[in-house]
């Protein structure tokens, strides 16, 4: 499937014909191209538009670019073959798209970062070394690590000290190539009970203690709306340590405009602060199939329509 060869669906396309960049693949010969790029680097995940272009990562990248998006992300990038990682990196470079954070290590049901276990340290260092190889193949700038669950039998400050030591060791390795490692605070009320890292202030404190340029935060606004709210205030207070954003509305964790978060104002604020990084669309769709994919693009056009 070639770039710029995506077509309006006869029904959904007519309903959204006034929206720049809302394209559909394929049943007639009329070609429609998108030229309107989004102001910020919203990054759909590879597979988000499978109803239009299937599951092939390269076809997804081309479709995403044709909709005016300036980035993609792939949580499972490290699990792809080296050959596919190189193909992804080459296609992104050709189209001028950025690549958002991929998961270096995450286990939401295990105690690891809060422990002083030397086997955990060895595993995390090995994963970070592996992440550097992914970086070489793809050009990705950011990897993601989560902290796992807390230990009910250990003093909280000792657990924090262990997390700091593990992150410092991983960042020393990541710093060899300039890879950033972002920690992700997650909510425990809805999705991930017993997790150690839940708040932005807690993440910033760890970053300050680690004291390494590779140690950053991914601000997942869906999780933080649930945990503590005050999204813009916390963005400002943690600004120097934010390496990426995750997007998802609440409740429901679907595309912007489906919940209570005022993403139009938040994105304007982020834009005015000069942010040039990736904002990963880490959420589901409120509708199924092609209709849902077109609705998602329409939603991002709405929240990107702030005045500059």
Please tell me which residue in 91, 180, 255, 282 is annotated as part of the active site: 282
DSSP state of 113: T
Copy the structure tokens of residue 72: 């993609």
DSSP state of 238: T
DSSP H or E run through 218: strand 215-220
Chain centroid to Cα 144, Å, comes to 9
Chain centroid to Cα 181, Å, comes to 13
Residues 104, 141 contacting (CB under 8 angstroms): no
228 is catalytic: no
282 is catalytic: yes
Q: Please measure the distance between the N-terminal and C-terminal CA atoms of the chain and give it in whole angstroms.
A: 36
DSSP string covering 114-128, please?
TS--HHHHHHHHHHH
Residue 274 neighbours by CB distance under 10 Å: 7
Please tell me which residue in 180, 184, 255, 293 is annotated as part of the active site: 184
* Gap between the Cα atoms of 222 and 202, Å rounded: 17
* Gap between the Cα atoms of 211 and 209, Å rounded: 5
Q: Helices (DSSP H) in 148-262: which residue ranges?
A: 156-174, 200-210, 221-227, 231-237
* Gap between the Cα atoms of 53 and 306, Å rounded: 30
Copy the structure tokens of residue 146: 């989560």
The distance between the two most distant Cα atoms of the chain, rounded to a whole number of Å, is 66
Q: What residues act catalytically?
A: 184, 282
């Amino acid at each position: 499937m070639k770039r710029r060869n995506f077509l309006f669906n006869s029904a959904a396309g007519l309903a959204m014909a006034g929206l720049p960049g809302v394209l559909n693949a394929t049943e007639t010969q009329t070609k429609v191209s998108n030229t309107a790029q989004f102001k910020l680097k919203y990054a759909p995940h590879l597979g988000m538009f499978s109803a239009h272009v299937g599951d092939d990562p390269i076809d997804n990248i081309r479709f995403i670019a044709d909709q005016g998006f300036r980035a993609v992300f792939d949580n499972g990038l490290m699990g792809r073959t080296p050959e596919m990682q190189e193909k992804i990196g080459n296609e992104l470079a050709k189209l001028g798209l950025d690549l958002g954070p991929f998961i270096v290590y995450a286990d939401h049901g295990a105690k690891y970062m809060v422990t002083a276990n030397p086997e955990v340290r060895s595993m995390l260092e090995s994963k970070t070394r592996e992440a550097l190889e992914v970086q070489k193949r793809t050009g990705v700038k950011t990897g993601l690590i989560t902290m796992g669950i807390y230990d009910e039998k250990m003093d909280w400050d000792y657990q924090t000290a262990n997390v700091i030591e593990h992150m410092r060791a991983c960042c020393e390795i990541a710093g060899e190539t300039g890879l950033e490692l972002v920690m992700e605070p997650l909510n425990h009320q809805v999705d991930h009970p017993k997790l150690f890292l839940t708040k932005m202030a807690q993440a910033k404190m760890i970053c300050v203690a680690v004291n390494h340029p590779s140690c950053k935060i991914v601000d997942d606004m869906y999780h933080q709306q649930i945990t503590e709210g005050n999204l813009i205030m916390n963005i400002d207070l943690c600004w120097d340590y934010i390496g990426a954003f995750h997007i998802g509305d609440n409740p429901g964790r679907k595309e912007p405009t489906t919940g209570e978060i005022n993403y139009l104002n938040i994105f304007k604020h982020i834009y005015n602060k000069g942010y040039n990084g990736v904002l990963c669309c880490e959420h589901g769709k409120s509708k199924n199939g092609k209709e849902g994919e077109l609705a998602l693009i329409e939603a991002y056009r709405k929240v990107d329509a702030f005045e500059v």
